[in-house]
Structure 1
């Protein structure tokens, strides 16, 4: 099959791309490299360095081939940044997606897979295992932008017959088990890479927000899903689009506390990690874990890397071999934890 993937130079997008190539598919990538990395692009893909805000350029790319599936990962994804500049986030995420969706419907694309988010469930009072039909209560412009895109896709199906899969995943983590790709954000805000960078001396100290939550050790519980398992889910869901549009929550269904993540990093590395406590962050729910039972039941998807130790091990192995990420080393690379977890 022929796939067109936006954001294919980013973290999740690049892992989906190599999974598609491993399965024998043809892949082309759209990315403006604002947050993605050219070094993450495989040699055997067609790359369009295009900004999705450029509607004409997007129309030209989409209409250039008969794509079997379009996958959309390109987006800004920092919740805190979206709170500081809400209209920028809404414009960048929603308008770019709308340009892509409109181009796809104009070209007769019939299958579309969308990278959505658990940030749709940011309100209080959610169940401990969040199902696909849980109450939508996005408490950030980032989450709101993703929900607006989901609604646009509903209308694209009703009006133009383009079926879509909106995959709301929780905490993507880990790295390609073969060591080909890893996680490299600027700034980094995810707990596992922050902990690993602190362990490797790339950051001075890690901070954990809050130790008085109603959980088994007082720290927040989050659902970490290996990025390769996410990639598998994106491929498996395509068969569903032969019949209907779908929405699924994606996670392990297993929650790990912040403290358990730290303990895993120390256990896998056999080293002590320098970290301290910090006050709670406003709005952080105590528990966010996905109920992915419907995805498993309807597609046969089952995470192959559910262990937090395996997730951490793949992330640590990649970072040890790539201490500068995808960047060229320069001088002494020390980045203090400006965004502590």
Structure 2
């Protein structure tokens, strides 16, 4: 059996890992010109972390993790307004950069990646699928996997235009990493955030001389600005704290990640011998906090169903994969929509209420209840 995986991010690479070990021939294509080192801090836990453990990847994840010891808010002068210590035992969480998780997965995959390339056309029948790539080559396979993100080219070609599936959540998000030993030391292994109505900026030290930055802005217009770095400086540069310093050297894409905050709601995840995976069909938004975990878990579920399928019709396996994943994706998406307004509150009154909630959560016995409230309901995906 042969699969063409479009998208060499977390979801696509995790699936390639499984398929190779099941004896499949895997080809990978990625529209980015090279492996994407940039990214943002993620909390990796739940079913995805369990799957990674069963894949034997926990030792490498431990090597690249950056533990968070405290969550807190500051004002424009850098004065702390509220905080919550993250105690051991809240939950098994591995905090790390998105690019580091992608690299840990990629290290274990044999299939080379054809960078700077994506799918140009798809033709399929009961016997297989033919894929024409943007480099002009044609390839035949038993399965085409669209793991190419929110703006999936495979989904567009097979299922329809993007506007049918992408739900804009009224915010823009940006992230990048700077190298600055002094700033890294000042922020430390604590996730610090500054919020004013409709804006949030966060920072967290990663290593001895790097600082990961995250920005969220309420914006009714989904259009991404022509100059994302200038837009960040315009909206955040006068807020104080460390922001004038870090925004002075703000890069442009691809070093700067800048996008809409969106979710993907796709009625169908497969059509014939084409299946969607990861953000292409189940994006929950960065601020739902479970995207990477769901991507790795979905790859585990899809691979398991494919292993159990006959070499002929793959449709029943693809249907079972979607049936297992849909409930948890819907749950996390709902959680993300509820949680997002608390990340960039709409008023100073709401900011004050959030700070009081965080102070109350630091009381004995209340901390665990608060942390549990930051996760949607549990689902058993890894069996």
Question: Normalised by the size of structure 1, how large is the TM-score?
Answer: 0.35
The structure that has the greater radius of gyration is: 2
**TM-score in terms of structure 2 length:** 0.31
Indicate the structure with greater strand content.
Answer: 2
